[in-house]
Structure 1
Amino acid sequence: MATKKMYSVVAVVGIVAASALAWWLQNPKTIAAPTPSGPRPAGVEISQVKKQTLRDDAEAVGTLRSSQNVMLRPEVAGRVLSLGFADGARVRAGQVLVQMDDTLQRAEVQQSLAQMSIARANHKRNQELVAQNFIAQRSLDESAAALQVADAQLGLSCARLERMRLIAPFNGVVGIRSVNLGDYVKDGTDLINLENIGSLYVDYRLPERYQVKVKPGQPIEVKLDAFPGRLFKATIEAVDPLIDVNGRSIGVRAVLANTAGEPVVAAGAKAAGAAASASAPAPAPAPAPAPKPASPVKPAAAAPSAQKPEPVGRGAALPSPQSLGCPPNTFDRTRTSAGGEQSGPLRPGMFARVTAVFTVKPNALVVPEEAIVPQGGKQFVIKAISPSELPAPAASASSNAASAPVVPPDTKFVSQRVEVKLGMRRGGQVEITDGLAEGDTIVVAGQQRLQKDGSPLRVVEIGRGAANAAASGASAAASGAVSAAATGAAPAGPVLSPASAASR
């Protein structure tokens, strides 16, 4: 019985002794090597403070609209006599687009003209008789009133005649007609739409927080899904003073020229392309062969065919109301024919992606967003400086000096916490308005281990530190195993880890 207890005690003592020996063999440096005097440098990633062009902008979606558009509708019912346009053709201001049957109205004008002639002749005869004292003054006054009534009746007849014609109020492009010759249309029926697409409006909405930034005259950038890879420039024309209560947004309208735009890839190199084109005026003689008489003649001959009207019956030969003796129409005198000449690829109703540019800062100091360390309602950035640049602690702050970390002699960078002021944020970059200068080295990863200024830093390149350590450890273990197999090493080798074997 005593022998069995003795065996148990010896076994326990042997296991303890073997465990202690194994621990000593695996950790020889913890016993033999002295503890380093300073803390281990913290591994961090660093970056540089750079200057970059930043834009304060906002994105929205909008719709293209015509600068002028109208749906032509007849004011009175009647039958379509002639059409003075072709579908999708350009028309001029004052051009007769739809002529209604105006037989009755022209007859009324002829009747009014006859009554006007009779009233004018009677009034002239009464003037002569009054001058000879053959009739009373009352007769002359009555003839003058009759002349005025006849004049008013003529104006009314001419107005009714004018309403039988639909005239283009401005230059533009007509759409696809929904009426044919001989159709009887009622008043208010949609006949043809007229669009002025020389320039278009871009209507979009922005959140109400941008109302203090949006001003007329600011540039915007427009991208259209119908033209991928193209960039269009527009200018804000007006801002709606009313804020939509449903979406809490403001309406903005910009003016966009109907052009082909410019390539998005060439937007950044626009200045270089302009300089290259300005420095190469050699191709100027090329336009010399262009003024061939044949090319201008073709468009002139093709223009009537492209805009050929479709007269039926006497529609093309109908005289104007003014040729019948009607007074000039006020609408004809005030009509202008400017605009609507240009016809580019853009069309009203297109979906637009708008980027409103408020301000542009060409030399803004920017750092990655990961470098910002918020603390106590303030924003800080940890700079990586050399130990010699670290400010010395004050003599009165003996306790702080005692708690300051010890810097190893071969340390290249130490930490310094700096308070900064932030500006705008764009694309993972933050603008620094105060606290840093261009070229300063800052920490972008590993800040959580830097609690005190003066902490030693060890720069780690992204994606290289851990991979290289694992590769070196694996290669050391493989070389150790090969050498042990070749020389017949002692059986104690498997007790040691590859890392400890390599260190020994």
Structure 2
Amino acid sequence: MKFDAQSLKTFSPRSVLVGLGGLLVAVIAVVFVYRLYGVIMGQGNEGGFPPPVVEVIKASKEEVNLRVSALGTLQADQAITVRPEITGIVTSIEFTDGERIEKDDVIITLDDRDLKARLMQAEARLTLTRANYQRAERLLKQGSGTARARDEALNDFKSAEAEVAATETALDKATIKAPFGGIIGLRQVSLGQFLTAGDPIATLADVDNLRIDFQVSEVFLTEVGKGQPVNVIFDALPEQVYEGVISAVDPVVSVDGRALSVRAVLQNVDGKLRPGLFGRVEIVTDTRRSIMLPEASIVTTPTGEKAVFTVVDGQAKMSPVTIGTRIPGEVEILSGVEDGDTVIVSGQLKVQNGAPVEIANDDSGNAGVSEAGGAAAAE
């Protein structure tokens, strides 16, 4: 192509600058792709660049707790709505909203004057029928009475006894007591209010003995059982871990969710727990010794495999790994890294496979106990 003076005049300074800028971007892109290709394909550290600075740790085996995680709602082991069994007018309220009461403490009383009068009447009839029965029995023995008269007197006597017992029971029900100890809720009645059988008075819950029901996948059927300890963290109390024990496992797997229903019981040791709280349950199913590495140390190869960079004789070496359980910030390494290997945990994106690296730290390890697991216990 020929460039004459006329054609050169068509290029403005702005066009020249734009062209040079585009050329510079292209050069930078080529260099970047070249270096990236070197990392992936294992080229050496060419071009005289100084070795990249990385941070490492010494891989070491540690105890890893494998866990199953689930969600559940806390419930009182015993919780009821207190209701009267008979009809009557409220004559006294013996509790304060939200207070702790003990078993057999009086909650409210109903007007029992009519019941007391009926009891007196029934007792009087009982006295009379008892005397009539005794007289009929005596006359029968003397030969001046009949068996029929004795039987009728006995029947009246037994009927009077039953009437007295029924009236006494109704009179007892006029005083409503707590069937168990716990925290009583907000009262829903007032003095002088007319109640019919079944009207709500207040809720009562045993908040000392609590339970939490949750579900786990059927794949954990053999790993979860009665008597197994659990840890529960509640969203409302995130700083406190509550310990419990599995009390029951449903013998039937849910067909819809392919899940197993589990119940755990726990004690309200500090008195802060209340029924209805949302909790996160963790069950330790196994403990084993494994290598745990920071999640940031894992890289993905072009084929989709997981790998880490180790340092061998001052050079970076890419090692494919098999990942096990995960916890926030850490992963379990099942294969690909040995105890004592030096693993790059920072700066690995700058290194090339087989190229020299400069270690900025000298971390001897990160021993300890890791908690691993979750709803999906392994990858």
1:416-464 CA-partner distances (Å, limit 9, x unpaired): 86x76543233343334456531023567479964xxxxx44124479x
Distance (whole Å) between structure 1 residues aligned to residue 276 and residue 210 of structure 2: 10
Shift of 1:362: 5.7
Q: Return the match for 1:356 from 268, 271, 282.
A: 282
Distance (whole Å) between structure 2 residues aligned to residue 155 and residue 210 of structure 1: 55
CA contact (8 A) 1:371 1:443 kept: no
CA contact (8 A) 2:316 2:357 kept: no
Shift of 1:224: 3.4
Q: Secondary structure at the match of 1:179?
A: coil
Distance 1:379 1:89, change over 3 A: closer
CA contact (8 A) 1:119 1:147 kept: yes
1:48-93 CA-partner distances (Å, limit 9, x unpaired): 3222332323444433322211111122332111222233333222
Which structure is higher in RCO with an 8 Å CA cutoff and minimum separation 6?
2
What is the aligned partner in structure 2 of residue 316 from structure 1? none
Shift of 1:383: 5.8
Q: Return the match for 2:338 from 414, 430, 437.
A: 437
Distance (whole Å) between structure 2 residues aligned to residue 182 and residue 414 of structure 1: 86
TM-score (ref. length: structure 2):
0.67
Shift of 1:147: 1.9
Structure 1 unmatched runs, 5+: 1-38, 261-343, 387-411, 451-455, 464-504
What is the aligned partner in structure 1 of residue 326 from structure 2? 425
Shift of 1:169: 0.5
What is the aligned partner in structure 1 of residue 58 from structure 2? 48
CA contact (8 A) 2:309 2:316 kept: no
- Tell which structure's C-alpha radius of gyration is larger: 1
- What is the identity, as a one-letter code, of the residue corresponding to 1:430? V
Distance 1:142 1:68, change over 3 A: same
Distance (whole Å) between structure 1 residues aligned to residue 238 and residue 146 of structure 2: 85
Distance (whole Å) between structure 1 residues aligned to residue 113 and residue 64 of structure 2: 69
1:19-72 CA-partner distances (Å, limit 9, x unpaired): xxxxxxxxxxxxxxxxxxxx8458686653222332323444433322211111
Distance (whole Å) between structure 1 residues aligned to residue 94 and residue 268 of structure 2: 26
1:114-137 CA-partner distances (Å, limit 9, x unpaired): 221122212222222222222233
Distance 1:217 1:462, change over 3 A: farther
CA contact (8 A) 1:214 1:358 kept: no
CA contact (8 A) 2:316 2:352 kept: no
Shift of 1:168: 0.9
Work out the number of aligned pairs and report it.
Answer: 310
What is the aligned partner in structure 2 of residue 163 from structure 1? 173
The percentage of aligned residue pairs carrying the same residue is 30
Question: Aligned Cα RMSD in Å?
Answer: 3.7
What is the aligned partner in structure 2 of residue 339 from structure 1? none
**Equivalences for residues 94-173 of structure 1 within 5 A:** 94-173=104-183
What is the aligned partner in structure 2 of residue 22 from structure 1? none
Q: Secondary structure at the match of 1:122?
A: helix
Distance 1:250 1:447, change over 3 A: farther
Q: Secondary structure at the match of 2:90?
A: strand
**Equivalences for residues 368-383 of structure 1 within 5 A:** 368=294, 370-371=297-298
Distance (whole Å) between structure 2 residues aligned to residue 78 and residue 378 of structure 1: 76
Distance (whole Å) between structure 2 residues aligned to residue 374 and residue 359 of structure 1: 32
Q: Secondary structure at the match of 2:325?
A: strand
Distance (whole Å) between structure 2 residues aligned to residue 462 and residue 427 of structure 1: 25
Distance (whole Å) between structure 1 residues aligned to residue 239 and residue 304 of structure 2: 43
Distance 1:415 1:100, change over 3 A: closer
Distance (whole Å) between structure 2 residues aligned to residue 231 and residue 249 of structure 1: 25
Distance (whole Å) between structure 2 residues aligned to residue 70 and residue 155 of structure 1: 27
Q: Which moved more, 1:127-136 or 1:355-364?
A: 355-364
TM-score (ref. length: structure 1):
0.52
Distance (whole Å) between structure 2 residues aligned to residue 68 and residue 379 of structure 1: 51
Distance (whole Å) between structure 2 residues aligned to residue 178 and residue 40 of structure 1: 81
Q: Return the match for 1:255 from 254, 265, 287.
A: 265
CA contact (8 A) 2:82 2:200 kept: yes
Distance (whole Å) between structure 1 residues aligned to residue 303 and residue 83 of structure 2: 69
What is the aligned partner in structure 1 of residue 357 from structure 2? 459
Distance 1:246 1:176, change over 3 A: same
- What is the identity, as a one-letter code, of the residue corresponding to 2:121? Q
Q: Return the match for 2:224 from 211, 214, 222.
A: 214
Distance 1:77 1:138, change over 3 A: closer
Q: Secondary structure at the match of 2:123?
A: helix
Distance (whole Å) between structure 2 residues aligned to residue 213 and residue 375 of structure 1: 37
CA contact (8 A) 2:324 2:331 kept: yes
Distance (whole Å) between structure 1 residues aligned to residue 129 and residue 44 of structure 2: 117
CA contact (8 A) 1:422 1:430 kept: yes
